[in-house]
A and B are shown apart, each in its own frame.
Chain A
């Protein structure tokens, strides 16, 4: 009998120990996610006219800042698109800016980047209709369109020229994403 009681006590103690350990053993904390913001407007808010085609067909690009670059980042890609636009009944939307090979050391983009195929720091940029660089929002209707910035941290640089298409860039990006940050702006004229 005494042995049985001892075994029981040990079993209860072991169970208690297991229960005590299980819940506090939290998974390893994830590193903080990449966050992209703009001093020009709040996330989810309205993009000021200054950065849109309402002000000028060559409106300056929106300044951006980001934090929490993932370890191992080799370059960034920035995608800016109007998700509301339909083109030829297809699933594509309207590209307003796609820049790649943004240096891994960058933590911001200034306002008014030049609309050139390449920038001195090695960044390559395209836009819609064979243009290069930022094209401001311009939707003429009365309802808001959604202009989405996606900043993507890559474990590689992209070996693509400024004649590359959006599809080619996104295909090259696939499988190399270390982190991404999203910023949503809305606009109509």
Chain B
């Protein structure tokens, strides 16, 4: 009898402990996710003209420079970052695509940001690769016509790998290679129209 009573007591105690824990414990989640911010504009705010097509002159090299970016919360095990900036409001034909403004991958895992005016070259000295947006390598400033704001989404993606792709890679190829390797990501939204 005594072993049964002991077993029952242990069982009850075990159940009690389980019950006590279940409601109090939220699903395991990283305490702080990655954040992406810019000293040049507020999240959800308007991208200043100096970073947009508004300052470009037709027939001359673009004057618009990339805004400075800073990120925090790099997860353990990060091997590289990917940066994607796109204009959600643009339609490509009748498809679900939109407008790519900037794609950079193999940004070193030690990076915590990008300076203002990243060169618009296919590769950077630190190993970063910048495939073409619609027109060129590197950053292309927003250029939505008046009067409706477009939404330019900057995303920084921490990967558990580097990408074995070249500067000729398309956005689709990069995103396919990223799939299954995303440790965390952070976003920043800017709005603009001319």
- The contact string, 1 if C-beta is below 8 Å from chain A, for chain B 168-194, is 000000010011111111110101000
* Docked-complex contact B189 and A146, CB < 8 angstroms: yes
A136 within 8 A of B: no
Instruction: List CB contacts (< 8 Å) of A45-92 with chain B.
Output: 45, 83-84, 86, 88-91
Contacts of A181 in B (CB 8 A): 89
Complex CA distance for A144 and B64, rounded to whole angstroms: 28
- Tell which of B148, B180, B184 touches A35, judged by Cβ atoms closer than 8 Å: B148
Query: Does A40 have its Cβ within 8 Å of any Cβ on chain B?
Result: no
* Chain B 37-53 per-residue mask, 1 if CB under 8 angstroms from chain A, else 0: 00000011100000000
B94:A140 contact, CB within 8 angstroms: no
**Cβ B88 vs Cβ A150 within 8 A:** yes
Please, which residue of chain A has its CB at the minimum distance from the CB of B37?
Answer: A143
Alpha-carbon gap, A86 to B151, bound state (A): 21
A32 close to B96 (CB less than 8 A): no
B120 CB contacts on chain A under 8 angstroms: none
A16 CB–B CB distance under 8 Å: no
Complex partner residue of B183 from A86, A142, A143, A155, CB under 8 angstroms? A86
B interface size (C-beta, 8 A): 38
| Contact flag A177-B43 (CB < 8 Å), given A141-B32, A146-B187 | no
- Chain A: interface residue total (CB-CB under 8 A): 37
- Whether A182 pairs with B89 at a CB distance below 8 angstroms is yes
Q: In the complex, what's the smallest C-beta–C-beta distance from A100 to chain B, in angstroms?
A: 13
> A35-B148, A43-B149, A184-B151 in contact; A90/B180 too (CB < 8 A)?
yes
Q: Are B189 and A184 in contact (CB under 8 A)?
A: yes
B91 touches A179 (CB 8 A): yes
A99 at the interface (CB under 8 A from B): no
Cα–Cα, bound, A189→B92 (Å):
36
Q: A86-B183, A86-B184, A170-B96 are in contact. Are A33 and B33 (CB under 8 A)?
A: no
Q: B33, A174: Cβ atoms under 8 Å?
A: no
Q: Contact at B175–A91, with CB atoms within 8 Å?
A: yes
| A98 at the B interface (CB under 8 A) | no
A177 touches B178 (CB 8 A): no
Interface pair A83/B151, CB less than 8 Å apart? no
Q: Is there contact, CB below 8 Å, between B187 and A83?
A: yes
> Contacts A35-B148, A90-B179, A141-B32 given: A44-B96 contact, CB under 8 Å?
no
**In the bound complex, do residue A182 and residue B151 qualify as a contact, i.e. CB atoms below 8 Å apart?**
yes
Q: With the chains together, A178 CA to B93 CA distance in Å?
A: 9
Given contacts A84-B187, A89-B180, contact A184 B95 (CB under 8 A): no
Chain B residues close to A by CB (< 8 Å): 26, 29-33, 35, 43-45, 73, 88-89, 91, 93-96, 148-151, 153, 155, 160, 175, 178-187, 189, 191
Binding site for B on A (CB under 8 A): 32-33, 35, 43-45, 83-84, 86, 88-91, 139-146, 148, 150, 155, 170, 173-182, 184, 186
19 of the cross-chain contacts (CB-CB < 8 Å) are: A32-B148, A44-B43, A44-B44, A44-B45, A83-B187, A84-B186, A86-B183, A89-B181, A89-B182, A90-B179, A90-B182, A144-B43, A146-B153, A155-B94, A174-B94, A175-B93, A180-B91, A182-B150, A184-B44
Q: Which 7 residue pairs are nearest across A and B when measured between Cβ atoms?
A: A44-B44, A143-B35, A182-B151, A174-B96, A91-B179, A177-B94, A146-B187
